[in-house]
């Protein structure tokens, strides 16, 4: 019997290097740009829908995971982005309406393409097409990820670590560290490292920028079960 793990699914070096998109001969820089665009659309849509940051972050992690097991040549970032956000909103117990999600994505896509933004007709063909695409995308995400949609985020851990280090009242470190966590969602960081390591890394980076020395005797990162070579 397999054991249920509460840790995040971490990819191997081979999975990171040999993505399905790369096998389908999509250039690496194009794949990176499409991933970033997909995450930007998720974040923007979540803000417009007034979803909590944990839902937007969870969606972006699911989005990144999906395209390590599926090719960008076969699935669009619009559909998988909508499916990821819809699924994440339910996982994080802040569900959004399909109609609202479709309207927001239509607005964002039209604006990205510099096209006139016109409201969708409620019974129009485009609404039905996008609704069908969203439903199929959600099922594909569940299928490709083996229904493993558990995502542990480092936000809460980071706040607790800052409390232990007595840095919660610092004028720049908490805000910078939080911003680094959000920026990392556009990268593969969340599929490469566990949340404690990510939390330590953003604190270390924020402290270095602020020129604040962190304790090394004993080493502060060891208290949070992280390795120095992983956070640098």
Q: What is the DSSP string of 13-33?
A: HHHHHS-HHHHTT--HHHHHH
Q: Map out the domains of the chain as residue ranges.
A: 13-144, 155-231
CATH of domain 13-144: 1.10.472.10
Average pLDDT of the residues of the chain: 92
CATH class belonging to 155-231 = mainly alpha
pLDDT tens, residue by residue, 91-131 = 999 999 999 999 999 999 999 999 888 878 777 788 899 99
Identify the three-state secondary structure at position 137. Answer: helix
Q: Tens digit of pLDDT for each residue in 24-58?
A: 999 999 999 999 999 999 999 999 999 999 999 99
pTM: 0.91
Q: How far apart are CA 56 and CA 89, in angstroms?
A: 8
CA gap 174, 31 in Å, rounded: 32
Of residues 34, 62, 32, the one with CA closest to residue 46:
62
pLDDT band at 1 (very low <50, low <70, confident <90, very high): very low
Asked if 13-144 and 155-231 have one fold, the answer is yes
Closest CA relative to residue 68, chosen from 137, 6, 134, 13 = 13
């Amino acid at each position: 019997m397999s054991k249920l793990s509460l840790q995040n699914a971490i990819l191997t070096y081979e999975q990171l290097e040999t993505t399905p998109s790369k096998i389908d001969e999509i250039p690496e820089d194009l794949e990176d740009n499409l991933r970033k665009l997909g995450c930007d659309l998720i974040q923007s849509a979540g803000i417009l829908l007034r979803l909590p940051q944990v839902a937007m972050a969870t969606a972006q992690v699911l989005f990144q995971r999906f395209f390590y097991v599926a090719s960008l040549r076969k699935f669009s970032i619009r559909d998988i982005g909508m499916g990821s956000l819809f699924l994440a909103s339910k996982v994080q117990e802040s569900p959004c309406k399909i109609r609202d999600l479709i309207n927001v994505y239509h607005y964002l896509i039209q604006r990205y393409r510099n096209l006139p933004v016109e409201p969708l007709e409620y019974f129009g063909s485009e609404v039905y097409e996008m609704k069908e695409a969203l439903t199929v995308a959600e099922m594909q995400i569940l299928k490709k990820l083996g229904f493993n949609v558990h995502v542990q985020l480092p936000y809460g851990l980071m706040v607790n670590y800052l409390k232990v280090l007595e840095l919660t009242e610092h004028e720049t470190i908490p805000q910078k560290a939080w911003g680094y966590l959000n920026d990392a969602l556009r990268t593969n960081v969340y599929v490469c490292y566990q949340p404690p390591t990510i939390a330590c890394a953003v604190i270390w980076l924020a402290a270095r920028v602020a020129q604040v020395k962190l304790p090394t005797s004993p080493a502060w990162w060891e208290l949070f079960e992280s390795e120095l070579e992983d956070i640098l």
